[in-house]
Amino acid sequence: MATPEEGDAPAALMLNPAEWSLWQAFRNGSTCDLRTGDPARDDPHGQFRWGPERRVRARIVALLLLEGPPAQPGRVSALKLAGAYITDTLDLAGGTIKPFVELRDCRFQNEVVLPESRFTTLRMVGCAIPRVEAARLHTEGDLHLPRCVVRSGIRLTDAHIGTDLLLNQTVVHKDRQGRSVMADGLTVAQDLQAEMMESYGELSLRGATIGVSLSLRGSRLSNPYGRRALNAPQMTVERTLYLTGAGLASSPFSSTTATPPYGIAHTPTRGTRMQRFECEGGMRLDDGRFGDAVDFEQARFIMEADQELSLRRIQTPELRFLGERPQRGRVILSGARVVNLVDKAASWPGLGGLWMAGFNYETLIPRGHFPLSRRLEWVAAATPEYAPEPYEMLATALRGSGEDSDAREVLLAKQRRRRETLPLAAKLWGVLQDWTVAYGYRPGRAAVWMAILWALGTVYFAQSPPPALKPGEAPPWNPYLYSLDLLLPVIDLYQGSSWKPDGGSQWVAAVMILAGWVLATTVAAGASRLLRRQ
């Protein structure tokens, strides 16, 4: 290598014209641009072959980054290369790279090897790369891979990104293990943006930690033959996980200004202003922690019967379940804890497609028309076999919003579902309770029955008064008070004990006493529930 005083490349390196231009540009901190100006010929993903005038050996790139010449006086060295065909394998494993690195519209012959290397900032924009191997990579600044096409996966296991990780519009195909992006244990200090990304294989983010937000707006994750398209259990996102639509710069969903300098650069499919998030295959977010929200607005899930959108035990202040209803597969919310559940009736799957045992939420915020009848269907879809918890959770949320009447309707529906599991005798008793007093959740109905029985009893005993138990000591006969004394348990109006019904009157009195006890205890149970707010 040249001495620091000279800074010129040693003759033994036998630099070609493209490499010599790169060497000089590195010392100046300027861009070595090998593009022709013809978009078709400059496309690294296109079919045109690139000749020797655009070829740069990976060895030269590595030499500049690891032991490069000093910068020209008054300049800062940086490797900025555009439109190059980088031959052989760029291997920087374990190295410490201090210069700024930006490779734009380049084509790589072999994989890029970066395990345990350290960068300040690394940007590869619009490049064609066979594979990126970067386990335990460490950057002080950004790692940008927007608009790249990676044919055999990206590995970022246990990598640490000092600011942002950008994968906007990147196309990643699966590796030999079926994974497109392997990023278990990844740490990103600020945002991870993978908007309008195309992932063909499993995107794995197990145990990843994102310091601000994770955005997959407008992305397509496809792994129809594997178990999951996104596998991200135990992930922590300090703010919001976006699995929503993306659009043009004028759209509120665009991130063009939010992620300079690589926002959404092309019109979504068919010229529309919006491209929805789509997941073909299962998704697992179990045990995740999300500081602001998990947003599924306009998301579309295409699953097989044995695949799941699993949100087991997630914790977030807000879950926005506003996507398209999955036609197959299951949505699982078992053990999840959210404060606000923002949802639409049309977003939830039908019977057998929703599990939410132990799902805890505080406030329901429906979008659009979501009447109580549909909400009860939502609970029924989640409980093919009777379980009380979803009904009780819904009643608690409605009561917390001041909708006491709807809460009672939910608890009544719970009792009716429970009745289906009981033996025949208990079912008949339940039907009687439901028909007469609605299990005590409609105490006004009990008062009506009491009034009817009182009137019938009064008419009957007015026509057939019973004889006095002790003639001469009985109070004046009053059929009104006598019927009421029979109906009201505990309370003694000094009528029932003074007269001795016989014949058919005994049966009428017995029926009224039993009916009074049933109605009174049912009303008392309903009142007790109201007082205890259960």
- Structure tokens that stand for 120 in this block: 């300040």
Q: 156 or 392, which is more confident?
A: 156
* Overall average pLDDT of the 365-378 stretch: 91
Least confident of 220-224, 274-278, 410-414, 464-468: 464-468
The pLDDT tens digits for 107-163 are 999 999 999 999 999 999 999 999 999 999 999 999 999 999 999 999 999 999 999
Task: Give how far the C-alpha of residue 184 lies from the chain's centroid of Cα atoms, to the nearest Å.
Answer: 19
Burial class (CB within 10 angstroms; exposed 0-12, middle 13-18, buried 19+) of 163: middle
What confidence score (pLDDT) does residue 385 get? 83
The pLDDT tens digits for 43-58 are 999 999 999 999 999 9
What confidence score (pLDDT) does residue 327 get? 92
CA pair distance 25, 80, nearest whole angstrom: 8
* Overall average pLDDT of the 413-423 stretch: 82
CA distances from 385 to 333, 389, 413, 422 (A): 16, 12, 14, 13
* Overall average pLDDT of the 71-81 stretch: 94
The answer on pLDDT for 256 being more than 50 is no
What is the share, in percent, of the chain residues with pLDDT greater than 70?
87
What confidence score (pLDDT) does residue 492 get? 64
Q: 454 or 44, which is more confident?
A: 44
The pLDDT tens digits for 163-200 are 999 999 999 999 999 999 999 999 999 999 999 999 99
The answer on pLDDT for 18 being more than 60 is yes
| In the chain, where the domains are located | 80-247+275-419, 429-532
- Structure tokens that stand for 501 in this block: 């019904």
The answer on pLDDT for 267 being more than 70 is no
Q: Which helix (H) or strand (E) holds 210?
A: strand 209-210
Residue 164 makes CB contacts below 8 A (sequence gap 6+) with 142, 143, 144, 188, 190, 191, 192, 193, 259
CA pair distance 477, 498, nearest whole angstrom: 9
> What's the mean per-residue pLDDT of the chain?
86
What confidence score (pLDDT) does residue 113 get? 97
* Overall average pLDDT of the 499-518 stretch: 77
Residue 490 makes CB contacts below 8 A (sequence gap 6+) with 520
Of the candidates 114, 109, 6, 104, the one whose C-alpha atom is nearest the C-alpha of residue 62 is 114
CA pair distance 223, 296, nearest whole angstrom: 19
pTM over 0.85: no
The answer on pLDDT for 351 being more than 90 is no
Model confidence at 222, pLDDT cuts 50, 70, 90, reads very high
Q: 181 or 402, which is more confident?
A: 181
Q: 40 or 473, which is more confident?
A: 40
Least confident of 162-166, 429-433, 452-456: 429-433
Burial class (CB within 10 angstroms; exposed 0-12, middle 13-18, buried 19+) of 190: middle
CA pair distance 333, 241, nearest whole angstrom: 16
What is the per-residue DSSP string for 183-208? Answer: -TT-EESS-EE-TT-EEESEEE-TT-
CA pair distance 356, 341, nearest whole angstrom: 13
Q: 3 or 81, which is more confident?
A: 81
* Overall average pLDDT of the 351-367 stretch: 92
The answer on pLDDT for 220 being more than 90 is yes
CA-based end-to-end distance of the chain: 81
